[in-house]
């Protein structure tokens, strides 16, 4: 008897990758319109990572029937790729398919955040730069080789950077050992994002972001999910959102820079809404089990809520700790909006404040405390 996925699980698997095949070299859409206006066409398959019955590809006898038909044991593929992975199970191992699933979900997350493209030269600029090949879906070995061939050179860090905490988690040690000393950061949790830096003869900097695990012994490789020109000061590589609210980023590199202008307001330098000195860079410590933590003596009022706007960029010091960020008012316990992640940014009025607390640990362990590093910008209403 086969442990088939319920219809609800199939829908979850499809929606988590926006109905696209999870094979990073395929990614074809699997759903579209039927000739009948009230129907759709589906060419996607909810495939089992480990087989639904004994004798099937990658069958794991240790799993229960419930585990075998759970979302954790599934991957969304097109019909062609579903047939491929089950026909050659020795090549498409459990680790390979889990890597595909991880990269596909990471890519979909970037798409939702507006931080993704699979087109060449993904960020336009008026300055000259050498050609940027299409890197999407390539493992980092191939992407690196193509960039070097096109004229991009890795920006190699000093040998002492091996001990930097930014690359000591996740894939960082693996890439460093391979001689890829252009790595800038690596996440030890979530989608295992890594960031790499290149430069061309014009002095332009290019960032490459990979997702997924890098396991050389298992022939599992991280794939490129995003790449972009790191524009010079004065050119925002990512736009700051127009709406007030709470936003989560996938990495430090995907947090937008503060805008240089805001309609109806003027920026302050190291001052609050009312020209009082206020430190705009710092950190705060949040403890497990505590309620929302504010920034000490954060300026705010209860009326004239259009007098000022605050913006904040933040990151958690530890990549395994998930932080809940919110815009609210901690004295009265009012929370207007909250989201959880490891990196993020927020915008609110002078009647609100940024708040933080520990939401959990991605690694599954307990987190007793974490430091939040932040940068603020205040805006005063223009006369």
Q: What's the whole-number mean pLDDT along residues 120-136? A: 64
Mean pLDDT of the chain, nearest integer: 85
pLDDT of residue 335: 82
How far is Cα 372 from Cα 344, in angstroms, rounded to an integer? Answer: 11
For the segment 263-280, what is each residue's pLDDT rounded down to a tens digit?
899 998 888 988 899 999
Q: What's the whole-number mean pLDDT along residues 231-249? A: 73
pTM: 0.49
Look at residue 182 and tell me whether its pLDDT is greater than 50.
Answer: yes
pLDDT confidence band for 364 (50 / 70 / 90):
very low
DSSP character for 271?
A: B
pLDDT of residue 124: 45
CA end-to-end span of the chain, whole Å?
Answer: 74
Look at residue 117 and tell me whether its pLDDT is greater than 80.
Answer: no
Q: What's the whole-number mean pLDDT along residues 317-341? A: 83
Tell which wins on pLDDT, 71 or 201.
71
pLDDT of residue 231: 60
Contact yes or no for 143/135 (Cβ under 8 A): yes
Look at residue 366 and tell me whether its pLDDT is greater than 60.
Answer: no
User: Cβ neighbours of residue 67 under 8 Å, at least 6 residues apart?
Assistant: 73
pLDDT confidence band for 233 (50 / 70 / 90):
very low
pLDDT of residue 230: 73
What the chain holds in terms of domains, given with CATH numbers, is 7-112 (no CATH), 140-230 (no CATH), 245-381 (2.60.120)
pLDDT confidence band for 232 (50 / 70 / 90):
low
Burial of 336 (0-12, 13-18, 19+ CB in 10 A): middle
Query: DSSP for 353-368?
Result: EEEEEEEEETTSS---
pLDDT of residue 362: 44
Task: Tell me the percentage of the chain whose pLDDT exceeds 70.
Answer: 91
How far is Cα 152 from Cα 146, in angstroms, rounded to an integer? Answer: 9
Rg of the chain, C-alpha, whole Å? 23
Q: What's the whole-number mean pLDDT along residues 217-232? A: 78
Look at residue 303 and tell me whether its pLDDT is greater than 90.
Answer: no
User: Cβ neighbours of residue 177 under 8 Å, at least 6 residues apart?
Assistant: none
- pLDDT-wise least confident of 65-69, 81-85, 340-344: 340-344
pLDDT of residue 154: 94
Which range is most confident: 216-220, 237-241, 377-381? 377-381
Tell which wins on pLDDT, 316 or 107.
316
How far is Cα 63 from Cα 56, in angstroms, rounded to an integer? Answer: 14
Query: DSSP for 40-107?
Result: EEE-EEEEESS-SSTTSTT--TTS-HHHHTSGGGEEEEEHHHHHHHHHTTTTS-HHHHHHHHHHHHHH
Q: What's the whole-number mean pLDDT along residues 221-231? A: 81
For the segment 9-44, what is each residue's pLDDT rounded down to a tens digit?
999 999 999 999 999 878 899 999 999 999 999 999
Look at residue 365 and tell me whether its pLDDT is greater than 70.
Answer: no
pLDDT of residue 86: 93
pLDDT of residue 118: 52
Look at residue 189 and tell me whether its pLDDT is greater than 90.
Answer: no
For the segment 142-167, what is each residue's pLDDT rounded down to a tens digit?
999 999 998 899 999 999 999 998 89
User: Which two structure tokens, joined as six digits, stand for 342?
Assistant: 């490891």
- pLDDT-wise least confident of 36-50, 128-142, 308-322, 335-349: 128-142
pLDDT of residue 234: 45
pLDDT confidence band for 126 (50 / 70 / 90):
very low
User: Which two structure tokens, joined as six digits, stand for 268?
Assistant: 């302050």
pLDDT of residue 113: 63
């Amino acid at each position: 008897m086969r442990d088939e996925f319920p219809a609800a699980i199939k829908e979850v698997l499809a929606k988590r990758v926006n109905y696209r095949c999870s094979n990073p070299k395929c990614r074809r859409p699997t759903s579209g319109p039927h000739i009948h206006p009230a129907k759709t066409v589906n060419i996607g398959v909810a495939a089992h990572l480990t087989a639904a019955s004994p004798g099937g590809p990658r069958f794991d006898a240790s799993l229960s029937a419930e585990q075998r038909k759970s979302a954790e044991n599934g991957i969304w593929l097109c019909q062609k790729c579903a047939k491929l992975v089950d026909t050659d199970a020795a090549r498409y191992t459990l680790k390979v398919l889990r890597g595909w699933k991880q990269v596909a979900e990471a890519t979909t997350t970037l798409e939702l955040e507006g931080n993704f493209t699979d087109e060449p030269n993904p960020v336009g600029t008026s300055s000259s730069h050498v050609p940027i090949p299409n890197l999407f879906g390539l493992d980092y070995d191939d992407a690196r080789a193509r960039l070097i061939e096109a004229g991009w050179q890795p920006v190699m860090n000093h040998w002492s950077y091996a001990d930097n905490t930014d690359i000591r988690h996740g894939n960082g040690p693996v890439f460093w050992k391979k001689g890829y000393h252009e790595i800038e950061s690596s996440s030890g949790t979530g989608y295992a994002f890594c960031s790499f830096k290149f430069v061309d003869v014009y002095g332009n900097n290019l960032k490459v972001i990979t997702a997924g695990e890098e396991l050389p012994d298992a022939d599992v490789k991280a794939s490129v999910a995003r790449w972009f020109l790191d524009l010079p000061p004065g050119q925002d590589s990512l736009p700051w959102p127009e709406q007030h609210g709470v936003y989560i980023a996938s990495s430090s590199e995907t947090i937008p820079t503060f805008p240089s202008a805001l309609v109806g307001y003027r920026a302050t330098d190291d001052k609050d809404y009312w020209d009082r000195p206020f430190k705009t860079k710092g950190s705060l410590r949040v403890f497990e089990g505590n309620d929302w933590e504010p920034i000490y003596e954060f300026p705010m009022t209860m009326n004239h809520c259009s007098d000022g706007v605050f913006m904040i960029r933040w990151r958690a010091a530890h990549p395994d700790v998930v932080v809940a960020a919110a815009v609210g008012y901690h004295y009265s316990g009012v929370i207007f909006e909250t989201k959880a992640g490891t990196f993020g940014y927020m915008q609110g009025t002078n009647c609100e404040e940024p708040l933080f607390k520990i939401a959990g640990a991605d690694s599954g362990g307990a987190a007793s405390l974490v430091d939040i590093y932040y940068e603020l910008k205040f805006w005063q209403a223009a006369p």
